[in-house]
Amino acid sequence: MTLLGMGPALLFCPGDRPDRFQNAADRADAVILDLEDAVGPESKAAAREAVQAASLDPAGTIVRVQDASADGFEDDLAAVAASPFRTVMLAKAESAAQVDRVVAAVPGARVVVLVETARGVLAVEPLVAHEAVVGVMWGAEDLVASIGGTSSRDASGAYRDVAVHARSRILLAAGAFGKTAIDAIRTDIADLDGAHAEAVDAAASGFGAKAAIHPNHVEPYRRAFAPTAEQLDEARRILAAAEATPGVFSFEGRMVDEPILRHARSVVARAHTLGA
């Protein structure tokens, strides 16, 4: 499991579509009930009521609330507090004080900070260091929009440099403070190969999970985070050899030290999470 206690494929679901809640939860490792972008202003109240009434497993459910400057922020928090759910995703997080507001309104809240503005990127270290924060996600499109850009990707589909910088900084902050890093959604729903390739990079880079806006991305994500049979076999053999040979040793012609052992442990842990 990730530090969030969930698997690697997280699926957003509009908060005003309770008819989809269970299906989304069944399809993914965790569902993110969305009270922010996926819900229009006229449907916010209905979405809050639906979240309060939802009977999903709290261990596999996250509720995304609006950003702290939104008119309905306090109403979102009140809805979460009245629900069985305690993992809260804070949209457009920019300060530890905003996390404090979540914790004050939702007793026992476990907060996932969603960093998707320039201010949020610059404040990511104190955000992630907050004791109530269990994970950090980044968002590419809102981030680029916050600095006046029009697209986070170039014509080839690769992230522009500013998005790569933000992604890297958020990942490093998560690692520095022992929190789960969640990679951004992919908006190209039809490109399943691209979704898989991006998730492969996320897993190899150190992200603990990746978010999706369509259930068709769940399988490519899970497959990407699951080690191949060859990778798992090698990792297990390296760890077995380490038990018999303390310290640095040679394994099939290459040196193995503690960083390599940590890589191997990560491979085994991911396999365990996904039942491999």
Which residues make up each annotated binding site for substrate? Answer: 64, 116
Binding residues, by number, are 64, 116, 142
Binding residues for Mg(2+), by number, are 116, 142
What phi-psi label fits residue 33: left (phi over 0), alpha (psi between -120 and 50 degrees) or beta? beta
Nearest alpha carbon to residue 181 among 196, 193, 171: 171
